Amino acid sequence: MLHTHEVAGSNPARPTFLINSPTAHFTLVTMKILLISPGTLEDIDSRITREIPYLFAKNLFAPHAVAAVAALTPSCHEVEIHDEYARGPADATLAENRFDIIGITIISNQLKRSLYLAGLAKKNNPKALVVVGGIGVENLISKNPENIDVVFHGEAEETWPRFLEDYQKGAYFPLYKNATKPDMAKTPAPRWELLRADLSSYTAALVQTTRGCPFDCSFCDVIYTYGRKPRSKTIPQVLEEVRKLSSLKIKMIFIADDNFAGDKKYTKALLRELIPLNNSFKIPIEFTTQIDITIAGDDELLKLLADCNFQSVMIGIESVNEDSLKDYNKQQNLRTPIGEAIRKIQSYGIIVLAHMIIGADSDDKEVFRNTARFLSEAHIVHHLCHPLAAPYGTKMWYDLKRKGRIILTENDQIKDKLDIVTNIIPKQLTRVELFEGLADYWEEIYNPQLFRKRAIAFLEGINYKPEIKDPGITALWTLRKMLSRVFTFYMFDLGKEHRKAFFSVLVATGKKGMYLLPKMIYLYTCYLIDYKRSMHDAKVARAHAGWERKNPDKIIIDNSVIPISENLREHSPQVITAAYHRVRNKVQGKEQLYSAVIAAMVDYNDRFGATFETFDPFQQEQVDNFCDRIVDKLPVDHHHTTEALPIEPPVGFTREILDALDNAIRYRNMSN
């Protein structure tokens, strides 16, 4: 895909991933843009949310992606947002044929719906451009490219405005993707006001403060989107977003970072400013986020989180088996006793949402029992557990692919279910044993009475009372309707076991301190969501295990060729450094340099990747040739001024280019 494409008004020698716009004069015209966030009533999280009446919500999280893209759109254009979870199917809106551009954010668990919407948009709006982006893009574009005009990869701060400009010039490209990472200090706040009428339909809205994660877990593909080095918004930016959401009556904010503590100095500085802001609101906002286990060793940070009203933090525990953590390259979890660390975090009244994975090479049949025992000992009241899956292009995918342990997932029984049905063949468990073991585990660990014991132990372990503004009678009056629904629901609408567990935990809360009542309701609500989701997942896992037992011939090994040879990966520092030196003095800035090196490496890998053995003078000459060919085709970049580039590649350059090369080849192979 990353080869030259000729489009109307464009330079046919320009690669599609270079996002420099043509310089021809054009007249700005107001465009009507529809941004769709897809969803179905069958989605399990949405269904569970609607089943809990006191949440007064239709889905867990407000659609951040479309609100963020709307904020990147120049004010001269008209933008409309349609979130299907809040407003229902977008079919009628798409039938109106009044839009110039229809954008769909692709969600991994809504691929079928996304495909349908793309086809409907193209059918009913034949003159409109259908564009897609989001975390599920790689899975979508290979299946239905005929209904999609433009694909956006990664962050959109620079590519979306550039595309709108190119489109109005009649010279847009089928692929937009930056080689460098946007400056988050220039990222505008999402246009939540476009969703004002829908915001009460969600339990929480999102704020993103940083992107990127310094860790290198083998199963994670975050680095392909956001990179390894954390980048941050300014603290005033974040405070303004929180202030805006408070004015829109948002009660909970999810800090949607890959790792909120990736830069602890920044996190602490932000929290010191966020605490007084939150206490200035009539009723303080509740927060939750994703973070890593190392916060257990930082009492100052834990106190700041508690005082800022963080109800919970999601932590990737992944496994209770140290060998499995080594399999995952989860080094940070090997530095401290995990159970002790979780109890320390929870002693501040912060609920740990423990994310667990089962299916590593070191996992055997005992892993289910050991994991259940760990949850009890660590007093974990909120957790998610999935089978191990290997995202395409990650270190784990390459390793298992070489071993013949990656299966094709196009089968209708597998696709769209990878949080329950994995794409790998485990080492010490059969796939059927993994699915049935998980089903047994889910049904056991979410037993209401076992949860009751863990919840009471959690409450008894709290020894810090946060310094949060007490809204007093104001909060009780404001929340009276919700509290009435809570007690009615648990008294009359649930079964005896849940009712007994709820009121037992309520009594324990009263003994510890009634200031914990909101946390106790939050805690039990999280458990109820976990319980309902896991009972659903257990049924799916059992049904699929039965299907695989009867249809072993339908589980097909992926025998496609690995895109990048191991020899080339091993010598990548030499090869990529040589490319850097070749193009450094021939480009106008960092963006062109990165783009040129990536393009040269794509072509070089095509020709020599499969046969590469060592980097010798012949290979040096070939790198020079590929770099020269790319540089000779580069247009003058009017969006960047000429800048001095370092003589040697910056720290991390090889890793960034290799990650981008992985992603570029992945996209092209799937497109073909």
DSSP notation for 47-114: HHHHHSGGG--SEEE--HHHHHHHHTS-TTSEEEEEEHHHH--SHHHHTT---SEEEEE--GGGHHHH
Asked whether the predicted pLDDT for residue 412 surpasses 80, the reply is no
Sign of CA dihedral 238, 241, 246, 252: negative
Q: What is the pLDDT of residues 485-504, one digit of tens each?
A: 888 888 888 889 999 999 99
Residue 188: per-residue pLDDT: 96
Q: What is the pTM of this model?
A: 0.84
Burial class (CB in 10 A: 0-12, 13-18, 19+), 196: exposed
Report residue 25's pLDDT band, with 50, 70 and 90 as the boundaries.
Answer: very low
Which stretches does DSSP call E strand in 87-192? Answer: 101-105, 129-133, 150-152, 175-176
Burial class (CB in 10 A: 0-12, 13-18, 19+), 559: exposed
Report residue 662's pLDDT band, with 50, 70 and 90 as the boundaries.
Answer: confident
Residue 411: per-residue pLDDT: 73
Q: What is the pLDDT of residues 130-151, one digit of tens each?
A: 999 987 776 655 554 678 999 8
Question: Mean pLDDT score of the chain, rounded to an integer?
Answer: 87
Name the DSSP letter for residue 158: T
Q: What is the mean pLDDT of residues 530-558?
A: 94
37/25 Cα distance (integer angstroms): 34
Residue 42: per-residue pLDDT: 81
296/307 Cα distance (integer angstroms): 16
Residue 661: per-residue pLDDT: 87
Asked whether the predicted pLDDT for residue 670 surpasses 60, the reply is no
433/367 Cα distance (integer angstroms): 12
**Percentage of the residues of the chain whose pLDDT score is greater than 70:** 89
Q: Which helix (H) or strand (E) segment is 453 a member of?
A: helix 448-461
Q: Which helix (H) or strand (E) segment is 237 a member of?
A: helix 235-247
Asked whether the predicted pLDDT for residue 273 surpasses 50, the reply is yes
Asked whether the predicted pLDDT for residue 31 surpasses 90, the reply is yes
Q: Between 413 and 183, where is the model more confident?
A: 183
At 517, the amino acid letter reads L
Six-digit token pair at 115? Answer: 């495909």
Q: Between 569 and 538, where is the model more confident?
A: 538
Contact indicator for 619, 600 with CB cutoff of 8 Å: no
Q: What is the CA radius of gyration of the chain?
A: 26
Residue 666: per-residue pLDDT: 67
Contact indicator for 613, 669 with CB cutoff of 8 Å: no
Distances (CA, A) of 385 to 60, 110, 418, 430, 448: 19, 20, 12, 18, 17
Q: Between 550 and 618, where is the model more confident?
A: 550
Q: Which helix (H) or strand (E) segment is 389 a member of?
A: none
Q: What is the pLDDT of residues 226-259, one digit of tens each?
A: 776 788 999 999 999 999 999 999 999 999 998 9
113/118 Cα distance (integer angstroms): 9
Q: Between 91 and 138, where is the model more confident?
A: 91
Report residue 565's pLDDT band, with 50, 70 and 90 as the boundaries.
Answer: confident
Report residue 5's pLDDT band, with 50, 70 and 90 as the boundaries.
Answer: very low
Name the DSSP letter for residue 263: S
CA geometry: angle 377, 380, 383, nearest 5 deg: 135
Residue 118: per-residue pLDDT: 92
Across 207-221, 381-395, 449-463, the highest mean pLDDT is recorded for 449-463
195/399 Cα distance (integer angstroms): 44
Residue 105: per-residue pLDDT: 94
Residue 139: per-residue pLDDT: 63
Strand order in the sheet with 78-83: 78-83, 32-37, 101-105, 129-133, 150-152, 175-176
Q: What is the pLDDT of residues 426-447, one digit of tens each?
A: 999 999 999 999 999 999 999 9
Report residue 19's pLDDT band, with 50, 70 and 90 as the boundaries.
Answer: very low
Asked whether the predicted pLDDT for residue 317 surpasses 50, the reply is yes
Nearest to 289 by CA among 266, 263, 319, 311: 311
Q: Could you give phi then psi for residue 215, rounded to 5 degrees?
A: -85, 165
At 249, the amino acid letter reads K
152/72 Cα distance (integer angstroms): 14
Residue 11: per-residue pLDDT: 30
475/478 Cα distance (integer angstroms): 5
Q: Between 22 and 296, where is the model more confident?
A: 296
Contact indicator for 430, 555 with CB cutoff of 8 Å: no
Residue 476: per-residue pLDDT: 60
Asked whether the predicted pLDDT for residue 543 surpasses 90, the reply is yes
